[in-house]
C-alpha cells in the first residue's frame, strides 16, 4: 500500500518514457535492423540537427515565448554556409553563418522583448522574411560545396570522434553547456523567472526585455550551428532544406515535457524529446511505412504529449 | 419582522477560505421595494457576500430563501434566471456590441436556425431603455457611450430580465454629480416597481441619501441592521470600526533618525498629483486610503516600476533621478507589492529561488549561482520569520497566504534595505501571521529601518504607525501623528475630500 502512491507518481512523471521503452521493444522485435549500433548512431546523427536547434529554442520557450523562424533560418544559413565555402572558404563561411544566426536572434529579440510584439507573429513574419532572403540569395538554384571530398569542413557533419559522429558530439557538448547556463547561472535563473511571472521579475529588478533578447540570440546561434552541421553533411543546399524543422523542434520540446506556458523545462528533457521523436520516425521507416506517415505520427505524438502533460497537472488521465 | 415579506433572505451563511473565515454566520434579508445598504471596511466580507448572492461563490454553510423557496445559487446564470442581478464595479459589457445585444448578452432571441431575431431584440431593448428614461437607442455601439450610460445599459438588464433583486457594487465610483442623481432616480424607479436593492458603498452621504436600511459587516460577522432614519453617520462608523485597538498591535519604540526619502510634487497623469512627503530612519509611516486612491501607484512610481510625469525625489538627503527597480533595490529601497501572487512571487519557483531573485548578482560568483549562500539565506529567514515550508525546493504555490507573504518579506529583508515599502502587507492572511508581521514591522523600525505601510485596514494603520498620511482620489489630504491618529480623523479626511469633488 505504501508503495502504491510512489509507483503511481513514478508512472505519472515517467509515463511517456515508459511508453517509449515499450515502443522500442515492439519495434526491435518487428524490425531487427532497428536496435543495431549503426542504426542508433544514424538516428542520433539525424536528430542532432533538430536537437541542436531545440536546445536554443528551449530557452525561448522557458521565457514563455515561441520561435517559429528557426526552420527558414536553417534554410538561409545552410545555403549561405554552403555557397560561401566556395567563395571565402570554410572558416569565413562558418563565421558568416554564425553572424547571420545572431542577427536573426537580435531582431526577433528586440521586437518581442523590448517592443513587446507578439512572439508568434514576429517569428512567423521572420520565417517569411528569411525564406524570401534565401530565394533572393540563391535565385532558387541549388548550391554545392565544390571540394566536398577534400575540405576540412566535412568534419562537422561527416566526421567521427571515438566512433561517435561529430554532430552527436556537438549536440551533447552543446547540451551540457546550455544546461549549465540554464540551471546554474544568473541568466538561467532569470530565464525561469521571466517565464514564470514577468511582472514579479520586473518588481524584482530583473531586466525582462534583455533576458528575452538573449534567449532569442541563443536560439539564433543554435540555428547557425545546426546549419553548419547540415551544410557539412549534405555538402549542398536548396531553398526547402529546412522546411518543417520549426515543427519538429517544437514537437521535441513538447515531447520532452517543457511547458509552453513558460517557467519550467530543461535541456535534457528537450534532447530526450527530440531523440524519442527521431526513433519513432526511424522505426516507422524501417517497418516499411511510407514517408508521409511521419507527418501524421508527429501530430499524434504532439497531441499525446500535451494530453499527458495536462493530465499530470489535473491529476487524472481523463477529466 | 414576520409580517414583512422578504424577496430574498440569507440565514446563517458562512464561507471559509484557506486560513480565513470570510463570513461567519451571516443573516441578511432584502424586502421588495427597499434599498438595503451593506457597509463595512475592506475585508469585512461585503464582496464575499455579494458574490454568494450572484452565484460566483457557494456558501459553506447556511440557507438562501428566495421568494419563499429554499434555493441554491450555483452559478451566475442561475442567479440571473431567478432575477438576481449584480451590477459590477467594473462593468461587464462588450464594447464592440450594440446596446441591445449587451442587454440580452447570453440570452439572445433566435429563431429555429439560430439566427438572431434583431427586430425583436431591438424592440424589447427599446422598451427596457425607455422605461429607465435613457436618451440613447438600442442600436448604439456600447464602446461609444460614457461610463454612466454604460451603467444604464447594465441596469436595463434588470428591466429586461424582470429582476427582483439588484445588487449595486460601488456604483458611483466613476460618476459625476449629475450622473449620480440620474442613477439615484433609476434606483428609485426600480424601488417603485418592488425590486429589492442591495447597495454597497464606502460613501456615507450617498448611503444616507438612498438607503432604507443599513447592515454593517465587520470581520465577516453582521454587527447589526438598522433603519436609516434611526441612526447617523457616527453610529454607523462606530459599528464599522469599533474594535479594540492596541491589543494586536505593537508600535515600534524607535529612535527617529535622519531623513531617508523625500518626494516632492510627484505627479502621474490620471493616477495621482502633487504628492509630497518625507520619511526618516526608524519611522513607520502609515499611508491610509481606500482601494483605488492611488496609494500603490505612488509606491510603484517611487520604486521605479512606473515612470513619474514630474516631481522630485531625494534619497539620504541628496536629490537623485528617479530610479529603475534595479537601482532602487541596489540603493536599499524595496517594495513588497500589493499582490503577492501577481507581483511578489514567481509561484512555480522554489522558496529559496524566490528569496534571492532580486539579488542574483549578490548570490553568484562570476555569473554562476552560489547555492550554498542561497541556502544559508533561505534557512536564516525561514527561522527568523518562522516560515512553514517543507524545504528550500518547495514551490511557493503550495504554501498558505501567510507563508507566501513571509517569503515576499524575506526576499527584501535579506537585502538589508534602508526603506521598506509594504503595500497591503496583511491582506488575506490569517490572524496569526498578521500579528507576526506587525511585530516584525516594529522590530525592523527599532533597528533603524524606515517603513511605509500602505493599508486600507484602519486598525492596522493606526496600530503600527508613528505618523499617518491619508490619501483619496490621487491626492494626499491629511497628516496625523500622536493623539490626532484616531479613526474618526482618518475617516473624515478620506470622506471630506470625496464630498468636495462629488
**CB contact (8 A) between residue A197 and residue B342:** yes
Distance from CA of A255 to the nearest CA of B (A): 20
Tell me the mean pLDDT in the region B349-357: 93
B181 in helix, strand or coil?
A: helix
Question: Please, which pLDDT band fits residue A209 given cuts at 50, 70 and 90?
Answer: very high
CA distances from B365 to A48, A186, A187, B371, B374 (A): 33, 9, 12, 10, 12
Span of B188-192, B241-245, B346-350 with lowest mean pLDDT: B241-245
C-alpha closest to that of B471 among B266, B298, B263: B298
- Each residue's pLDDT tens digit, B122-138: 888 888 888 777 778 88
Please, are residues B200 and B37 in contact by the beta-carbon 8 Å criterion?
yes
> Which residues in chain A touch residue B349, judged by CB atoms under 8 angstroms apart?
192-193, 196, 263
Q: What pLDDT sits at residue B196?
A: 92
What chain B holds in terms of domains, given with CATH numbers, is 8-241 (3.40.50.300), 259-501 (3.40.50.300)
B328, closest residue in chain A (CA to CA): A205
**CB contact (8 A) between residue A205 and residue B361:** no
CB atoms within 10 A of CB B214: 24
| Residue of A204, A261, A262 to mutate for B, most B C-beta atoms under 10 A | A204
Q: Give the nearest partner residue to A185 out of B329, B358, B368, using CB atoms.
A: B368
> Which residues in chain B touch residue A205, judged by CB atoms under 8 angstroms apart?
324-326, 328-330, 358
Distance from CA of A213 to the nearest CA of B (A): 18
- Contact status of B1 with chain A (Cβ, < 8 Å): no
CA distances from A250 to A57, A294, B422 (A): 8, 15, 42
Distance from CA of A197 to the nearest CA of B (A): 5
Instruction: Give the span between the Cα atoms of B190 and B194, in whole angstroms.
Output: 7
**DSSP conformation class of B230:** G
Q: What pLDDT sits at residue A316?
A: 44
Q: What pLDDT sits at residue A196?
A: 92
What mean pLDDT is reported for chain A? 87
Helix (H), strand (E) at residue B76:
helix B76-81
**CB contact (8 A) between residue A184 and residue B343:** no
Tell me the mean pLDDT in the region A56-62: 96
Question: Please, which pLDDT band fits residue B55 given cuts at 50, 70 and 90?
Answer: confident
- Contact status of B347 with chain A (Cβ, < 8 Å): yes
Question: Please, which pLDDT band fits residue B20 given cuts at 50, 70 and 90?
Answer: low
pLDDT of A31 over the 80 cut: no
pLDDT of A222 over the 70 cut: yes
Q: What pLDDT sits at residue A77?
A: 95
Instruction: Give the span between the Cα atoms of B143 and A85, in whole angstroms.
Output: 60
* H helix intervals, B319-430: 325-331, 351-356, 371-384, 401-413
Parallel/antiparallel/unpaired status of strands B165-169 and B84-87: parallel
C-alpha closest to that of A154 among A221, A220, A228, A97: A228
> Which residues in chain A touch residue B342, judged by CB atoms under 8 angstroms apart?
197, 199-200
Parallel/antiparallel/unpaired status of strands B368-369 and B364-365: antiparallel
pLDDT of A213 over the 90 cut: yes
Parallel/antiparallel/unpaired status of strands B165-169 and B196-200: parallel
Span of A308-317, B354-363, B367-376 with lowest mean pLDDT: A308-317
Give the A-side interface with B, CB within 8 Å: 184-187, 189-190, 192-193, 196-197, 199-207, 263-264
| Residue of B346, B412, B420, B423 to mutate for A, most A C-beta atoms under 10 A | B346
Q: What pLDDT sits at residue B224?
A: 87
**DSSP conformation class of B321:** P
Written as one string, the DSSP assignment of A58-120 is HHHHHTT-----HHHHHHHHHHHHHHHHHHTHHHHHHHHHHHHHHHHHHHHHIIIIIS---HH
Instruction: Give the span between the Cα atoms of A291 and A36, in whole angstroms.
Output: 21
pLDDT of B84 over the 70 cut: yes
What chain A holds in terms of domains, given with CATH numbers, is 35-314 (1.10.3470)
> What whole-number percentage of chain A has pLDDT above 70?
92
CA distances from B327 to B175, B320, B321, B344 (A): 40, 11, 10, 18
Span of A137-141, A197-201, A229-233, B442-446 with lowest mean pLDDT: A137-141
Instruction: Give the span between the Cα atoms of B33 and B164, in whole angstroms.
Output: 9
pLDDT of A133 over the 90 cut: yes
**CB contact (8 A) between residue B342 and residue A190:** no
A200, closest residue in chain B (CA to CA): B343
Non-local CB neighbours of B274 within 8 Å, separated by 6+ positions = B265, B266, B267, B475, B476
Tell me the mean pLDDT in the region B467-493: 86
A192, closest residue in chain B (CA to CA): B349
Cα angle B454, B457, B460 (rounded to 5 degrees) comes to 80
C-alpha closest to that of B255 among B466, B460, B479, B438: B466
Q: What pLDDT sits at residue B246?
A: 42
Question: Please, which pLDDT band fits residue A124 given cuts at 50, 70 and 90?
Answer: very high
Instruction: Give the span between the Cα atoms of B165 and B50, in whole angstroms.
Output: 12
**DSSP conformation class of B397:** G
Please, are residues A77 and A95 in contact by the beta-carbon 8 Å criterion?
no
Q: What pLDDT sits at residue B289?
A: 83
Q: What pLDDT sits at residue A231?
A: 93
- Contact status of B323 with chain A (Cβ, < 8 Å): no
B380 in helix, strand or coil?
A: helix
**CB contact (8 A) between residue A203 and residue B345:** no
Question: Please, which pLDDT band fits residue B212 given cuts at 50, 70 and 90?
Answer: very high
Tell me the mean pLDDT in the region A16-25: 76
**DSSP conformation class of B344:** I
CA distances from B373 to A69, A181, A187, B407 (A): 40, 19, 18, 17
Strands (E), B18-68: 20-30, 35-39, 61-66
CA distances from A66 to A112, A118, B241, B270 (A): 10, 9, 52, 35
- Each residue's pLDDT tens digit, B423-449: 988 876 766 677 788 889 999 999 999
Please, are residues A68 and A251 in contact by the beta-carbon 8 Å criterion?
no
- Contact status of B367 with chain A (Cβ, < 8 Å): yes
> Which residues in chain A touch residue B360, judged by CB atoms under 8 angstroms apart?
186, 189-190, 206
- Contact status of B369 with chain A (Cβ, < 8 Å): yes
**CB contact (8 A) between residue B369 and residue A200:** no
Q: Give the nearest partner residue to A200 out of B330, B345, B364, using CB atoms.
A: B345
Q: Give the nearest partner residue to B367 out of A187, A197, A201, using CB atoms.
A: A187
- Each residue's pLDDT tens digit, B380-416: 999 888 888 888 888 888 887 788 889 999 999 998 8
CB atoms within 10 A of CB A317: 12
- Each residue's pLDDT tens digit, B244-271: 444 457 777 888 889 999 999 999 988 8
User: Exposure string (b/e) for A215-242, b if CB count within 10 Å is 16 or more?
Assistant: bbbbbbbbbbbbbbbbbbbbbbbbbebb
Non-local CB neighbours of A41 within 8 Å, separated by 6+ positions = A164, A165, A168
State the ipTM, two decimals: 0.84
Q: Give the nearest partner residue to B325 out of A186, A190, A203, using CB atoms.
A: A203
Distance from CA of A189 to the nearest CA of B (A): 8
- Contact status of B357 with chain A (Cβ, < 8 Å): yes
Tell me the mean pLDDT in the region B369-385: 91
Please, are residues A63 and A70 in contact by the beta-carbon 8 Å criterion?
no
Counting other chains too, the contacts that B495-499 makes at CB distance below 8 Å and 24 or more residues apart are: B495/B203, B495/B204, B495/B205, B497/B472, B497/B473, B498/B203, B498/B472, B498/B473, B499/B205
Distance from CA of A254 to the nearest CA of B (A): 18
Q: Give the nearest partner residue to A203 out of B337, B347, B349, using CB atoms.
A: B337
C-alpha closest to that of A62 among A237, A218, A275, A285: A218
> Which residues in chain A touch residue B324, judged by CB atoms under 8 angstroms apart?
205
pLDDT of A51 over the 70 cut: yes
Which comes out higher in pLDDT, residue B241 or A171? A171
Instruction: Give the span between the Cα atoms of B5 and B97, in whole angstroms.
Output: 39
> Which residues in chain B touch residue A197, judged by CB atoms under 8 angstroms apart?
342, 345-347
pLDDT of A90 over the 80 cut: yes
Amino acid at each position: 500500500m505504501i508503495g502504491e502512491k510512489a509507483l503511481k507518481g513514478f508512472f505519472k512523471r515517467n509515463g511517456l518514457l515508459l511508453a517509449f521503452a515499450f515502443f522500442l521493444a515492439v519495434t526491435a522485435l518487428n524490425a531487427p535492423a532497428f536496435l543495431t549500433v549503426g542504426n542508433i548512431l544514424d538516428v542520433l546523427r539525424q536528430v542532432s540537427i533538430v536537437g541542436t536547434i531545440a536546445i536554443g529554442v528551449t530557452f525561448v520557450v522557458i521565457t514563455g515565448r515561441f520561435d517559429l523562424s528557426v526552420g527558414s533560418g536553417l534554410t538561409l544559413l545552410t545555403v549561405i554556409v554552403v555557397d560561401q565555402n566556395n567563395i571565402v572558404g570554410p572558416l569565413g563561411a562558418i563565421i558568416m553563418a554564425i553572424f547571420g544566426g545572431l542577427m536573426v536572434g537580435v531582431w526577433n529579440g528586440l521586437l518581442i522583448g523590448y517592443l513587446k510584439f507578439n512572439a508568434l507573429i514576429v517569428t512567423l513574419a521572420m520565417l517569411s522574411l528569411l525564406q524570401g532572403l534565401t530565394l533572393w540569395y540563391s535565385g532558387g538554384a541549388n548550391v554545392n560545396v565544390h571540394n566536398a571530398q577534400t575540405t576540412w569542413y566535412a568534419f562537422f557533419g561527416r566526421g567521427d570522434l571515438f566512433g561517435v559522429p561529430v554532430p552527436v558530439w556537438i549536440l551533447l557538448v552543446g547540451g551540457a553547456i546550455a544546461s549549465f547556463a540554464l540551471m546554474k547561472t544568473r541568466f538561467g535563473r532569470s530565464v525561469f523567472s521571466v517565464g514564470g511571472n514577468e511582472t514579479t521579475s520586473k518588481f524584482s529588478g530583473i531586466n525582462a526585455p534583455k533576458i528575452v533578447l538573449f534567449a532569442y540570440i541563443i536560439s539564433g546561434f543554435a540555428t547557425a550551428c545546426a546549419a553548419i552541421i547540415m551544410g557539412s553533411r549534405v555538402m549542398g543546399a536548396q531553398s526547402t532544406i529546412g522546411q518543417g524543422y520549426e515543427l519538429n523542434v517544437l514537437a521535441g520540446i513538447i515531447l520532452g515535457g517543457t511547458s509552453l506556458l513558460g517557467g519550467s523545462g530543461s535541456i535534457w528533457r528537450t534532447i530526450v524529446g527530440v531523440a524519442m521523436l527521431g526513433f519513432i520516425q526511424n522505426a516507422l521507416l524501417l517497418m516499411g511505412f511510407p514517408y508521409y506517415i511521419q507527418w501524421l505520427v508527429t501530430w499524434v505524438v504532439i497531441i499525446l504529449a500535451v494530453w499527458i502533460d495536462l493530465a499530470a497537472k489535473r491529476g487524472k488521465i481523463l477529466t | 419582522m414576520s409580517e414583512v415579506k422578504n424577496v430574498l433572505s440569507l440565514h446563517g451563511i458562512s464561507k471559509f477560505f484557506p486560513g480565513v473565515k470570510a463570513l461567519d454566520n451571516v443573516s441578511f434579508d432584502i424586502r421588495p421595494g427597499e434599498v438595503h445598504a451593506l457597509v463595512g471596511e475592506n475585508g469585512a466580507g461585503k464582496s464575499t457576500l455579494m458574490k454568494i448572492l450572484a452565484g460566483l461563490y457557494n456558501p459553506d454553510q447556511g440557507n438562501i430563501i428566495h421568494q419563499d423557496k429554499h434555493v441554491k445559487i450555483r452559478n451566475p446564470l442561475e442567479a440571473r434566471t431567478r432575477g438576481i442581478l449584480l451590477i459590477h464595479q467594473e462593468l461587464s459589457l462588450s464594447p464592440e456590441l450594440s446596446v441591445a445585444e449587451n442587454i440580452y448578452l447570453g440570452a439572445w432571441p433566435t429563431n429555429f436556425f439560430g439566427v438572431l431575431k434583431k427586430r425583436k431584440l431591438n424592440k424589447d431593448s427599446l422598451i427596457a431603455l425607455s422605461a429607465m428614461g435613457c436618451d440613447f437607442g438600442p442600436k448604439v455601439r456600447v464602446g461609444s457611450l460614457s461610463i454612466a450610460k454604460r451603467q444604464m445599459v447594465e441596469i436595463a438588464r434588470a428591466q429586461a430580465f424582470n429582476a427582483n433583486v439588484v445588487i449595486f457594487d460601488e456604483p458611483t465610483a466613476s460618476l459625476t454629480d449629475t450622473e449620480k442623481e440620474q442613477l439615484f432616480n433609476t434606483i428609485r424607479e426600480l424601488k417603485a416597481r418592488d425590486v429589492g436593492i442591495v447597495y454597497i458603498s464606502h460613501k456615507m452621504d450617498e448611503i444616507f441619501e438612498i438607503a432604507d436600511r443599513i447592515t454593517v459587516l465587520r470581520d465577516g460577522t453582521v454587527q447589526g441592521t438598522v433603519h436609516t432614519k434611526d441612526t447617523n453617520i457616527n453610529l454607523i462608523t462606530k459599528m464599522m470600526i469599533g474594535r479594540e485597538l492596541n491589543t494586536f498591535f505593537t508600535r515600534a519604540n524607535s529612535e527617529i533618525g535622519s531623513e531617508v526619502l523625500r518626494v516632492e510634487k510627484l505627479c502621474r497623469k490620471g493616477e495621482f498629483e502633487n504628492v509630497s512627503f518625507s520619511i526618516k530612519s526608524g519611522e513607520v509611516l502609515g499611508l491610509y486610503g481606500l482601494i483605488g486612491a492611488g496609494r500603490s501607484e505612488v509606491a510603484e512610481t517611487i520604486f521605479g516600476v512606473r515612470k513619474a510625469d514630474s516631481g522630485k525625489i531625494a534619497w539620504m538627503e541628496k536629490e537623485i533621478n528617479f530610479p529603475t527597480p534595479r537601482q532602487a533595490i541596489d540603493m536599499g529601497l524595496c517594495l513588497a507589492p500589493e499582490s503577492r501572487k501577481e507581483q511578489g512571487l514567481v509561484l512555480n519557483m522554489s522558496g529559496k529561488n524566490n528569496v534571492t531573485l532580486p539579488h542574483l548578482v549578490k548570490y553568484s560568483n562570476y555569473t554562476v549561482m552560489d547555492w550554498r549562500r542561497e541556502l544559508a539565506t533561505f534557512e536564516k529567514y525561514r527561522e527568523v520569520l518562522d516560515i512553514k515550508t517543507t524545504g528550500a525546493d518547495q514551490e511557493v504555490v503550495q504554501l498558505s497566504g501567510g507563508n507566501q507573504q513571509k517569503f515576499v518579506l524575506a526576499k527584501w529583508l535579506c537585502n538589508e534595505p534602508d526603506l521598506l515599502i509594504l503595500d497591503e502587507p496583511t491582506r488575506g492572511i490569517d490572524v496569526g501571521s498578521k500579528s507576526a508581521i506587525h511585530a516584525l514591522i516594529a522590530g525592523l523600525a527599532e533597528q533603524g529601518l524606515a517603513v511605509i505601510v500602505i493599508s486600507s485596514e484602519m486598525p492596522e494603520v493606526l496600530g503600527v504607525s508613528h505618523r499617518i498620511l491619508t490619501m483619496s482620489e490621487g491626492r494626499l489630504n491629511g497628516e496625523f501623528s500622536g493623539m490626532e491618529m484616531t479613526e474618526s480623523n482618518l475617516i473624515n479626511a478620506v470622506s471630506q475630500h470625496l464630498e468636495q469633488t462629488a
